[in-house]
Structure 1
Amino acid sequence: MYLDLLKNCSFGSLTKNFNKLDTTAFDCNNDDLNDFFINDAVKYSKDLLGKTYVFVLDTDKSNIVCMFTVSNDSLKAEDLPNSRKKKVNKNISRQKQKKSYPAVLIGRLGVSKEFIGKGIGTQLMDFIKAWFLDPTNKTGCRFLVVDAYNQENAISYYLKNGFLFLFSTELQEKEYMNLALNKNLNTRMMYFDLLSLEKTDEQN
């Protein structure tokens, strides 16, 4: 059954709009994410380290459909190798190119296992993109960035939703992070240029 996030769910801040919501039953099939949303999300918000938002079913306000946590960040182009720097600056006019660009970090994102495979993840990402591109957004934000779990399902999700790898290969990323080449890379740095949405709309 198709579920429309914007039509069938209520949205708000975990600590403001849903401060009495019981998150202990939330399960997105990822122990690390579950632990964060259940035990740390409220603390992060109170310490101003990240703010968590929730979609709950209108028909059952205790049923969490999905959650995500965002915080201020930046994409530091000046620290990147030339090839990566050119990639980031590709769609930015030379006059406006900067050493770093304002970004929002998607620190955590999870869809309840009850709704996995029903298009909720894509709807959620479309919402986040539109939310930070909206003219009423209180701060400038050019990019969305994420340290995606280096797992097939997570990487596939972000690629499907238009994110790009900041580094083409894991080897490049390890060198950038000064990691030993025999160490596992647990996450991959990825980014999305919000202005690409406006260009797509213009072309359509």
Structure 2
Amino acid sequence: MQNNFLENSCTFSLLEPELLQNCKPFICGNNDLDDFFLNNSALYTAQLLGKTYCFRLDSDPSTIVCAFTVANDSIKVNFLPNSRKKKVTEAIPHIKRHRSYPAVLIGRLGVNEQFQSHHIGDILLNFIKDWFVSPENKTGCRFIVVDAYNQSKILHFYEKNKFQALFSSEAQEREYLTLPDTHPLYTRLMIFDLINLL
């Protein structure tokens, strides 16, 4: 599919309960994601914890092509190991370095099963990146953060889209999260520096 498929062939809107009721079931093929979009996204919005948006097909507005949830976040570099702190701050002029940097968290991101394997996820990530460097963006935001499922396919998807792991190893991330060595690491924190788009 062409890179501008979402903007040329779909309508962008908030994913609200009424819209969900009037649309076909939005199934991504991941039970956690499907449950979130169907049952919890409205609760997050109501509690001001995040906002969920979607793209619907213009030719069939009852079909949700993809959806995502965003929330405010930050990267607190003082809590990072020195090597990772340097990785985050190396492109920031010394005079502008701080203890934390504004970020937006992609809390959930899903693509309708019918549209998977058509690079919709890549197109959606590009849309989100452009959205947060747009002159219309109302707040400063240096990084996009995602807590990606710790599965090779998912990690590769974000790496392909220029996201980097915030920690160099799972052991380092467990230490940061104060998890025991035996505890499974279900997700990996990954970041994208929006300055790369300017």
Question: Secondary structure of 1:66's partner?
Answer: strand
Match of 2:6 in 1: 5
Question: Secondary structure of 1:21's partner?
Answer: helix
Q: TM-score, normalised by structure 1?
A: 0.93
- Structure 1 stretches of 4+ moved >4 Å: none
Q: Which amino acid aligns with 2:20?
A: L
Q: Give how far 1:21 is off.
A: 3.2
Q: Distance in 1 between matches of 2:53 and 2:136?
A: 18
Q: Distance in 2 between matches of 1:106 and 1:25?
A: 22
Contact kept, 8 Å, 2:89 with 2:97, in 1: the verdict is: yes
The gaps in structure 2 that reach 5 residues or longer are none
Q: Distance in 1 between matches of 2:79 and 2:164?
A: 18
Match of 1:111 in 2: 111
Q: Which amino acid aligns with 1:4?
A: F
* Two-structure CA RMSD over aligned residues (Å): 1.4
Match of 1:142 in 2: 142
Q: Are residues 193 and 114 of structure 1, via their aligned partners in 2, closer, same or farther at CA, if it must alter by over 3 Å? A: same
Give the paired residue count.
196
Q: TM-score, normalised by structure 2?
A: 0.95
Q: Are residues 24 and 32 of structure 1, via their aligned partners in 2, closer, same or farther at CA, if it must alter by over 3 Å? A: farther
Contact kept, 8 Å, 2:24 with 2:63, in 1: the verdict is: no
Deviations 1:54-99 (A, max 9, x none): 0000000000000000000101111111111000001001000010
Deviations 1:18-54 (A, max 9, x none): 8433367111111000000000011111111110000
Q: Distance in 1 between matches of 2:19 and 2:182?
A: 45
Match of 1:171 in 2: 171
Contact kept, 8 Å, 1:24 with 1:38, in 2: the verdict is: no
Provide the identity percentage. 54
Q: Report whether the alignment pairs 1:73 with 2:70.
A: no
Q: Distance in 1 between matches of 2:123 and 2:162?
A: 13
